[in-house]
Chains A and B, each alone.
Chain A
Amino acid sequence: MQEDTLSPPISPEKRDRVVIRFAGDSGDGMQLAGARFTESSAAFGNDLATFPDYPAEIRAPQGTIAGVSSFQVHIADWDILTHGDEPDVLVAMNPAALKANLRDVASGGLILANEDAFDDRNLDKAGYTSNPLTDGSLSGYHVMTAPMEKLTKLAVATTGVKGRNVLRSKNFFALGLISWMFNRPTEPTLDWVRQKFGADTPVGQANIEAFRAGFNFGNTTEEFHHTYAVPPAQLPSGTYTTITGNQALAWGLVAAAQSAGLTLFLGSYPITPATSILEEIARLKHFGIKTFQAEDEIAAIGVSLGAAFAGHLAVTTTSGPGLALKSETLSLAVMTELPLILIDVQRAGPSTGMPTKVEQADLMMAMYGRHGEAPLPIVAPRSPSDAFATAMEAARIALKYMTPVILLSDGYLANGAEPWRVPDFDHLPKHDVHYATEVNGPDGVFYPYARDPKTGARPWAIPGTPGLEHRVGGLEKQALTGNVSYDPDNHELMVAARAARIAGIADDIPEAEVHGPDDARLLVVSWGSTYGSVRAGVNNANRDGYSTAHVHLRHLNPFPKNLGEVLAGYEKVLVPELNLGQLSALLRARYLTPAVTLSKVQGAPFMANEVTKKIIELLEDQS
């Protein structure tokens, strides 16, 4: 095997950042190409953020707009916040990929097209009446083409792959070409192929040869005279790994169970885009973890609640439609006061909506979507890596306050990746958990609903503990004894006690932290996955001379206790959300804040410049 034929190009042009989008048919392997480019960039030391975007259909009709799958990656030599507003480079494997993505490409950006796919049939399927590569319609861009299919066929001819498999490697051709153009190290990709497919298998060899062919095509073809270098970022020193949001949630749950000294139990039912949490945890059984793929969403939370009663750190994962089905059991968890973590990886709704697209429209359902007065804590991660700490925080609250907790992630965080500076795992926060072992009432009586004076939490007495036999259930509980009670005063007392216990968590979470100048007149408030775009949007506005502050919320219920005071300090409050204004409504109701909503419901994350534009509009508006 030749290892040294891939020589690096000479004198590249330096760039501090670049955004590349790989786009093709769902079967073209664009997610894989993007992920490999990401890994080699991570290994190279760039900061990065990614945005995989794909249709819900596994294989939509080939060559159509509906079947286009894309993967955007932003690499930089500085600490970036977003996956990039506009791609500087679009890799288009067919006409549909070009058509679906062109409107996002930066003007003057580079379009690298697989010219072999631009035949009459594919042009027609994408709705083109003439070939955009040759008809002059792309004059505002820098267009480069390569016969990727022809060259891939030639490159893999000796590897033994046959039939349809021959062209399967064309994503590696594209990856090789882009890797050459951006001076990526090649070894991480080649190593990965050898590990994944085997160095000596036909498929492994075909992928390697296609990758080399793409790389060398750039090196030897005069059309590709130019390469770019994005130097490593000056990130804080430490050990890094790339991580997606769902992976971080999975690992955060594992870490939480370990620091609490409890067995992790995950009851779940597959649903996009939450499924990969179950998949990740299911392969970690060697940690002593129990996973259970239930018959439906309702059973998934039911088994988890049963496991919680019996003493496990119980979790259930889902997306919006599943949250709706689980709401009855969440109410039971509120009534029985058992620790339970529900992770909702939000997607565009209502109903089946757009399962692979991002939205933040489940906030109100998380907040109020239960029968009766059933408050529970809500937390939301702000980035893929932040999901680790947020999962641990959800577990801390659930265990300390004996309550179900909802963690609101979303489809953007689920699949998006970024470098994660690995924390010191020996010094993660410890969750101090004690099962009850002694009676707590007079005359040897156990009171399952006696409350801890500080937290309001009831004792966790698990089956198998002698002398603490007790019954929990959905009927209203008498204070202390936990017996069924229809007493009106007791009901009012218990409703208030459950609410006070959750509200009291505000004393146990960090205060809202304001980012930005002291003299700002406008405060931007955001939550969840919009953090990167909103923070970048605020920074851009401030760089342009505007004075804007930003608060990003991890805790949505209860809110940080200084939030009302913070909000009151600004003339204007802007709340950008991927919904029609749900956090805005909560802030207005709670603090009488005249919050302005910046809404986006396109199944796509904010671009930073959309936030900047709104900030400027509000600050220029003198009314």
Chain B
Amino acid sequence: MTTTTEPRYTRADFQSDQEVKWCPGCGDYTILASVQNLLATLDFDREKHVFVSGIGCSSRFPYYMNTYGIHSIHGRAPAVATGVALANPDLTVWVITGDGDALSIGGNHIIHALRRNVNLKVLLFNNQIYGLTKGQYSPTSETGKKTKTSPMGSLDYPFSPVSLALGAEATFVARTIDMDRDHTTKILEAAYEHHGTAFIEIYQNCNVFNDKAFQLLTGREVRDTNRIYLEPGERIVFGENNEMGVVLGIDGAKIVRVEDVGLDAIQVHDPTRPNPGIAFALSRLSHGPTGPTPIGIFRNVQRDTYGDLLRAQIEQAKDRNKATSIADLVEQHGTWTIE
């Protein structure tokens, strides 16, 4: 990022005086640092950031940010944040949530916030486990996962958060990885710039209850062969020498060797397509992750936000009806006088 003037803030300006109490080695620390660093680079008043969270390890996040914040109720952060965003369009409202918070107890609120396109930045920390309650399977845990509440293996089929968000027609959908600070910062910045609901799934390692869940994408030896970076305008290729690629067929997206199909057959990534179909196909490439997995921005389109539409409707109503007092209302309703 090029800046001509001195940044107004440093990371310290966004650190609260509260001791951070996540487990040592938790992926949340890196995400917190990435967010604080990004905010310090922005030319945007600190007092206009609001962090709203639900319940879970990740939801302690607002306490560590020296901004306005609400640590709300399990699953309800999208609703509370919607109220904040509709009340004041000048604010940048961030939702900090987890896989259990957003997709289990709060599943209803997240899909409705996404479809309404409320101006929110949703950071979903997906660690595929319930951490705060000490290790039960979550709605993103793999089927068969053995935990204290699923000693014989969980029976649940997991959600893909990105597929779910695309299904709800979210206008901005991305995925990143906690350990990859540069990529995270890039995605966070794009989300900040997006006007509407921005949904980011962040693969976050819980080193205590679900360590190495994302090993395929973070392990030194395997990560290059498993990360499919989605770059707008670029062909979707990956592997150490970009020898692998993604094509679209009747069965959705498929991984191929580039030399088998020729480079021209490889899909060019375009997150601005109005139809979320191709983005959805890409999100189905890996479920878990169980193999090569796309990271980056799946979808980035513009649609009126709920707040913009609400304010426009209020202005329209003011043009149509000049009544501004209760007395006017009563008059319109009809009155009679007793002498």
- A interface with B by C-beta (< 8 Å): 39, 42-43, 45, 232, 235-243, 251, 254-255, 258, 263, 265, 267, 284-290, 292, 294-296, 298-299, 302-312, 314, 328-329, 332, 336, 422, 425, 462-475, 483-484
Kindly list 14 other residue pairs between chains A and B, CB separation below 8 angstroms, not including A305-B83, A469-B66: A39-B334, A240-B336, A241-B336, A251-B330, A258-B326, A286-B320, A290-B310, A290-B314, A292-B83, A302-B73, A306-B85, A307-B83, A310-B91, A332-B72
Docked pose: A485 CA to B112 CA in angstroms: 34
Evaluate contact between A265 and B76: CB separation under 8 angstroms: no
Q: A240-B338, A475-B71 are in contact. Are A310 and B317 (CB under 8 A)?
A: no
B86:A263 contact, CB within 8 angstroms: no
Ranked nearest first, the 9 interchain pairs of A and B with the lowest CB-CB distance are A306-B83, A473-B71, A302-B79, A310-B87, A303-B83, A285-B317, A471-B69, A307-B83, A286-B317
Q: Is B35 an interface residue (CB 8 A)?
A: no
Return 11 A-B CB contacts under 8 Å, by A number: A240-B338, A242-B334, A284-B329, A292-B83, A299-B108, A299-B109, A303-B80, A305-B80, A309-B84, A312-B87, A471-B68
B333 to chain A, nearest CB (A): 5
Is B147 close to A, CB under 8 A?
Answer: no
Residues of A within 8 A of B108 (CB): 295-296, 299
Q: Tell me the residues in window 37-53 of chain B with beta carbons closer than 8 Å to chain A beta carbons.
A: 45-48, 50-53
Q: Contacts A299-B112, A305-B83, A307-B87 given; indicate if A464 touches B47 (C-beta within 8 A).
A: yes
Q: In the complex, what's the smallest C-beta–C-beta distance from B135 to chain A, in angstroms?
A: 22
Residues on A with C-beta less than 8 A from B52 are 306
For the complex formed, measure the closest distance between the CB of B77 and the CB atoms of chain A, giving whole angstroms: 8
Residues of A within 8 A of B66 (CB): 469
Q: Does A336 contact B70, Cβ atoms closer than 8 Å?
A: yes
Counting chain A CB atoms within 10 Å of each CB, which of B76, B81, B90 scores highest?
Answer: B76
Given A45-B336, A474-B72, are A254 and B79 also a contact pair (CB < 8 Å)? no
Give the residue name and chain of the A residue nearest to B48 (CB).
A464
In the complex, per-residue mask of B58-72: 1 if CB is within 8 Å of any chain A CB, else 0 = 000011011111111
Q: Is the CB of B70 within 8 A of A237?
A: no
- Is B325 on the interface with A (CB-CB < 8 A)? yes
Q: Say whether B335 faces chain A, with CB atoms less than 8 Å apart.
A: yes
What residues on A are CB-neighbors of B322 within 8 Å?
286
Q: Does the CB pair A473–B87 fall under 8 Å?
A: no
Chain A residues whose C-beta falls within 8 Å of the C-beta of B70 in the assembled complex: 306, 309, 336, 471-473
A284 to B323, CA, bound (A): 9
Residue B313 at the chain A interface, CB threshold 8 Å: yes
**A255: B residues at CB distance < 8 A:** 326
Cβ-neighbour of A295 out of B65, B83, B112 (below 8 A): B112
Cβ of A467: which chain B residues have Cβ within 8 Å of it?
47
Complex interface: chain B residues within 8 A of A45 (CB): 336, 338
B112 contact set on A, CB distance < 8 A: 294-295, 299
A302–B86 CB distance below 8 A: no
Tell me which residues across on chain B come within 8 A of A462, comparing CB atoms. 88
> How far, in angstroms, from A9 to B68 measured CA to CA in the complex?
71
Query: A465 touching B47 by the CB < 8 A rule?
Result: yes
B45 (CB) vs chain A CBs: closest residue:
A466
**A475 — which chain B residues lie within 8 A by C-beta?**
71
B339 at the interface (CB under 8 A from A): yes
Q: Are B47's CB and A299's CB within 8 A?
A: no
> Known contacts being A284-B329, A306-B79, A310-B87, is A473 close to B68, with CB within 8 Å?
no
Name the residue of chain B whose CB is nearest to the CB of A314. B83
Among B55, B63, B70: residue with most chain A CB under 10 A: B70
- Answer whether A43 and B83 are a contact pair too, CB < 8 Å, given A465-B47, A471-B68, A475-B71: no
Closest to B14 in A: A469
Contact partner of A236 (CB less than 8 A), chosen from B82, B90, B329, B338, is B338
The reply to whether B18 and A463 form a contact with Cβ atoms under 8 Å apart is: no
Q: Are A302 and B76 in contact (CB under 8 A)?
A: yes
| B242 CB to nearest chain A CB (Å) | 44
CB distance from B101 to the nearest CB of A (A): 13
A425 to B329, CA, bound (A): 11
B321 on the A face (CB < 8 A): yes
* Nearest-Cβ distance from residue A2 to partner chain B, whole angstroms: 25
List residues of chain B with CB within 8 A of the CB of A284: 329
Inter-chain contact B67/A285, CB cutoff 8 Å = no
The residue from A43, A251, A469 contacting B336, defined by CB atoms under 8 A apart: A43
For the residues of A in contact with B, the DSSP-based class is: mixed
A302 touches which of B72, B327, B338 (Cβ 8 Å) = B72
A243 to chain B, nearest CB (A): 8
Are A294 and B79 in contact, CB atoms less than 8 angstroms apart?
yes
- Whether A483 contacts B18 by the Cβ 8 Å rule is yes
Report if B16 contacts A (CB, 8 A).
Answer: yes
Most central of A42, A306, A467 by chain B CB within 10 Å: A306
From A294, A310, A474, contact of B84 by CB (8 A) = A310
Instruction: Name the residue on B nearest A254 (C-beta).
Output: B326
CB within 8 Å of A: which B86-135 residues: 86-88, 90-91, 108-109, 112
Asked whether, in the complex, the Cβ of A263 is within 8 Å of the Cβ of B18, the reply is no
Cβ–Cβ < 8 Å partners of A425 in chain B: 325-327
Question: What residues of A have a CB within 8 angstroms of the CB of B72 in the complex?
Answer: 302, 305, 332, 473-474
B318 at interface, CB cutoff 8 A: yes
B3 CB within 8 Å of chain A: no
Q: In whole Å, how far is A400's beta carbon from the nearest beta carbon of chain B?
A: 20
Known: A265-B83, A306-B84, A329-B76. A469 touches B46 (CB 8 A): yes
B324 at the interface (CB under 8 A from A): yes
Q: Are B69 and A473 in contact (CB under 8 A)?
A: yes
* B329 A463 Cβ-Cβ under 8 A: no
Determine the distance from Cα of A235 to Cα of B329 in the docked complex, in whole angstroms.
Answer: 22
Complex: how many Å from CA A240 to CA B70? 45
Contacts of A290 in B (CB 8 A): 86-87, 310, 314
B241 in the interface (beta carbon within 8 A): no
Contact of A306 with B82 in the complex, beta carbons under 8 Å: yes
Which B residues are in CB contact (< 8 Å) with A286?
314, 317-318, 320-324
| B5 in contact (CB, < 8 A) | no
Q: B2 at interface (Cβ–Cβ under 8 A)? A: no
A474-B71 in contact given A239-B336, A298-B79, A306-B83 (Cβ < 8 Å): yes
**Contacting residues, chain A, for B4 (C-beta < 8 A):** none
Complex Cα spacing A265 to B83, Å: 9
A61 to chain B, nearest CB (A): 34
Cβ of A294: which chain B residues have Cβ within 8 Å of it? 79, 112
B88 closest partner in A (C-beta): A310
Which residue, A267, A292, A299, A467, has most C-beta atoms of chain B within 10 A? Answer: A299
Shortest A41–chain B CB gap in Å is: 11
Q: Which residues from chain A contact B313 at a C-beta distance below 8 Å?
A: 285
Nearest-Cβ distance from residue B249 to partner chain A, whole angstroms: 36
Q: Are A307 and B335 in contact (CB under 8 A)?
A: no
Name A464's contact: one of B79, B81, B91 (CB within 8 Å): B91
Bound: A162/B83 CA distance, A: 49
CA distance A39 to B333 in the complex (A): 11
CB of A35 to closest CB in B, whole Å = 12
In the assembled complex, which residues on chain B have CB atoms less than 8 Å from the CB atom of A309?
Answer: 70, 80, 83-84, 87
With A45-B338, A237-B339, A254-B326: A472-B71 Cβ-Cβ less than 8 Å: yes
Instruction: Report the minimal beta-carbon distance from A369 to chain B, rounded to whole angstroms.
Output: 16
Output the nearest chain B residue to A291 by Cβ-Cβ distance: B310
In the complex, what distance in Å separates the CA atom of A464 from the CA atom of B90?
8
Query: Is there contact, CB below 8 Å, between B335 and A267?
Result: no
B18 nearest CB neighbor, chain A only: A483
Alpha-carbon separation in the docked complex, A471 to B90 (Å): 19
Query: Are A299 and B79 neighbours in the complex by a CB distance under 8 Å?
Result: yes
Q: Given A239-B335, A295-B112, A311-B88, check contact A471 B73 (CB 8 Å).
A: no
